[in-house]
Structure 1
Amino acid sequence: MTSSPEHRIEAELVSHIPALRNFARRFHNSPNDVDDLVQETLAKALNNLDKFEAGTRMKSWLFTIMRNTFCTRYGLTKREQVGLTPDCENRISIKPSQEDFVRAQELEEAIYKLPEKFRTVIELIFIQEVSYEVAANKCGCPIGTIKSRVSRARNMLCKALD
């Protein structure tokens, strides 16, 4: 009595369960989490048996499914807020944007009050994001002078903004 190709593939799939358990232990310490990952991997493999290419290594295919399953689940848990209660005191608060707006205006005013040679290097290096070499060429001075002006401009801005 010969078994059908589906039965052989399913039998091979079952034979890889111990290897899947060992591989799942790399991702989880908890035996329950290991079991869940193996179960989810097997379920996905069974649902997608038609996508398995005969002649390729099933073990590698299963490991790929497991790794992708873990990565997907891990990405979701990083975005979810687990364990938070609906109490108001535990809700995530959002910093008011007005303070950032005010600080940005203060920075803009402080930059405007800088002497022109310092304001120019701040604009070139930090706003236009050009290299020190390009800034030196535009200002007609050595790179060391540009670096010095940037350092002095930073110090002036720190003093102006506390």
Structure 2
Amino acid sequence: MTPEPDPELREALLAAVPSLRAFAISLSGQVDRADDLVQDTLLRALANLHRFEPGTNLNAWLFTILRNLFHSEYRKRRREVEDPDGSYAGRLKVQPDQGSHLDFEDFRSALAKLPPDQREALLLVGASGFSYEEAAHICGCAVGTIKSRVNRARFRLASLLNVEDIEDLGPDSMTRAALQG
């Protein structure tokens, strides 16, 4: 059994859960699967707490663990039945009756059309608030690569959502953060 982390570290781990969950939902597209990813991330982090270097960015470390778990799980799930266009999943849900929900679905759909590397970079920088440097560290690539991916993702999202200027963006702060440079 893993020893209990000190109270300050425990609080920092708990504070990271909402951001980890949002990132996991964005990656997996499924709340239940995302919750499992977050739980596995926390378990792995606790089991490997001796590898965490105090004074470094705990959130970046946790996001890296989550990202690696997701990709490992993805490789394992390749043999499962895929639903690339979402038609099967689309038949399983009830369409929302409020405009903001429809706007969010349009945004999610457009986000899903981005290449995985661009979507990941945009979510880390635009939605999760990581700096370009932190996102580059999480993804294991150069800062310039992350900047390029984010820029291309923002441009493509704006095109997919028919956004021509700032006034076309809705009141949703997540959408604004993802599309603004």
TM-score by length of 1: 0.45
Q: Which has the higher contact order (CA 8 A, sep 6+)?
A: 2
Query: Which structure: larger Rg?
Result: 1
TM-score by length of 2: 0.40
